[in-house]
């Protein structure tokens, strides 16, 4: 089968994969729910390619993510709900509506004004949906619209952003840092009392507070943690290499020895 740059060809291939009897047995047994994990995984692989600066890999990963959209749209079409054309129509309509400064009369807005306009239009859309009797998106109130399945760090960030818009927020990062210290003290108290269940709950509060600090520093917590993960893996790999040169493995070494090698790896990066 010859490759194609035409989206129509991709839709035809997906339809063939989902055709009973002649299609792919694995593809045919999938549902919206079973495909969701793959959709999330592909989105993260797109983010990983961007962080690594690998544009060739990014092209491939974007293709994989596009396949997820096509897959979901095909299943929806089979249910008589909508098709891929409906998805395209919905997003193009939304983009035009939310960019009156490009497609309408509004002009010469700053990035901050554009964001404010975007938020206002989204609020108007939410109100219109409610007026039509539509189902609220992920609850009601100021925190509505933050999907529960989001990664915990990302959901915490979005919840805090929404709360901040209605005035429930600290004024500066130092106030958040004080909250982090308070949470650490509470964890220490529960550990000292021997209550690991309450200590674990306090750890959740600490993580939430750390996300808030990242927000006040204009840093995305998910991206920041991924960077820390890569740094840890890189430095631990240096420890393993150094130990291997000595004919040893981590499990054959003391913590003090590995800690010294960690410090050496850290110093080498500066």
Whether the predicted pLDDT of 1 surpasses 60: no
Mean pLDDT value of segment 204-219: 97
Least confident range of 119-123, 225-229, 262-266: 119-123
Q: Which residue has better confidence, 107 or 190? A: 190
Task: Assign domain 7-98 to its CATH architecture.
Answer: Orthogonal Bundle (1.10)
Q: How large is the average pLDDT for residues 194-223?
A: 96
pLDDT > 90? residue 253: yes
Mean pLDDT of the 41-70 span: 95
- Quickly state the pLDDT bin for 126 (edges 50, 70, 90): confident
* pLDDT, the chain, mean: 92
Is 3's pLDDT higher than 70?
no
Mean pLDDT of all residues in 162-187: 95
pLDDT class of 140 with cuts at 50, 70, 90: low
For 22-36, 79-93, 138-152, 161-175, which range has the lowest pLDDT when averaged over its residues? 138-152
**204 pLDDT above the threshold of 90:** yes
Output the DSSP codes for the chain: ----S-HHHHHHHHHHHTSTTTS-HHHHT--HHHHHHHHHHHHHHHHHHHHHT-HHHHHHHHHHHHHHHHHHHHHHHHTTS--HHHHHHHHHHHHHHH-HHHHSS-----HHHHHHHHHHHHHHHHHHHHHTTPPPTTSSSTTTT--TTS-HHHHHHHHHHHHHHTT-S-SSHHHHHHHHHHHHHHHHHHHHTT-HHHHHHHHHHHHHHHHHHHHHTT--HHHHHHHHHHHHHHHHHHHHHHHHHTT--GGGS-HHHHHHHHHHHHHHT-
Residue 117 confidence class, pLDDT cut points 50, 70, 90: confident
Give the tens place of pLDDT for each residue, 67-110: 999 999 999 999 999 999 999 999 999 999 999 989 988 888 88
Q: What is the pLDDT of residue 245?
A: 96
Domain segments of the chain: what residues? Answer: 7-98, 224-268
Across the range 3-7, mean pLDDT stands at 78
Average pLDDT over residues 149-178: 93
């Amino acid at each position: 089968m010859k490759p194609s740059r035409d989206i129509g060809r991709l839709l035809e291939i997906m339809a063939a994969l989902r055709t009973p009897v002649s299609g792919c047995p694995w593809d045919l047994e999938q549902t919206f729910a079973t495909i969701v994990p793959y959709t999330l995984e592909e989105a993260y692989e797109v983010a990983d390619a961007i962080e690594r600066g690998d544009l060739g890999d990014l092209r491939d990963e974007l293709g994989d993510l596009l396949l997820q959209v096509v897959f979901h749209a095909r299943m929806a079409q089979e249910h008589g709900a909508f098709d891929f054309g409906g998805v395209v129509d919905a997003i193009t309509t939304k983009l035009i509506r939310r960019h009156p400064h490009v497609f309408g009369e509004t002009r010469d807005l700053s990035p901050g004004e554009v964001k404010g306009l975007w938020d206002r239009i989204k609020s108007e859309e939410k109100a219109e949906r409610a007026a039509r009797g539509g189902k609220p998106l992920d609850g009601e109130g100021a925190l509505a619209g933050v999907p529960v399945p989001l990664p915990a760090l990302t959901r915490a960030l979005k919840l805090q952003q929404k709360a901040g818009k209605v005035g429930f927020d600290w004024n500066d990062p130092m106030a958040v840092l004080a909250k982090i210290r308070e949470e650490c003290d509470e964890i220490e108290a529960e550990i000292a009392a021997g209550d690991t269940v309450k200590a674990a709950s306090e750890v959740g509060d600490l993580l939430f507070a750390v996300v808030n600090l990242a927000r006040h520093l204009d840093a995305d917590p998910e991206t920041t943690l991924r960077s820390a993960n890569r740094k840890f893996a890189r430095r631990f790999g240096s420890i393993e290499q150094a130990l291997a040169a000595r004919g040893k493995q981590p499990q054959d070494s003391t913590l003090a020895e590995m800690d010294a090698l960690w410090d050496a790896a850290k110093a080498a990066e500066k």
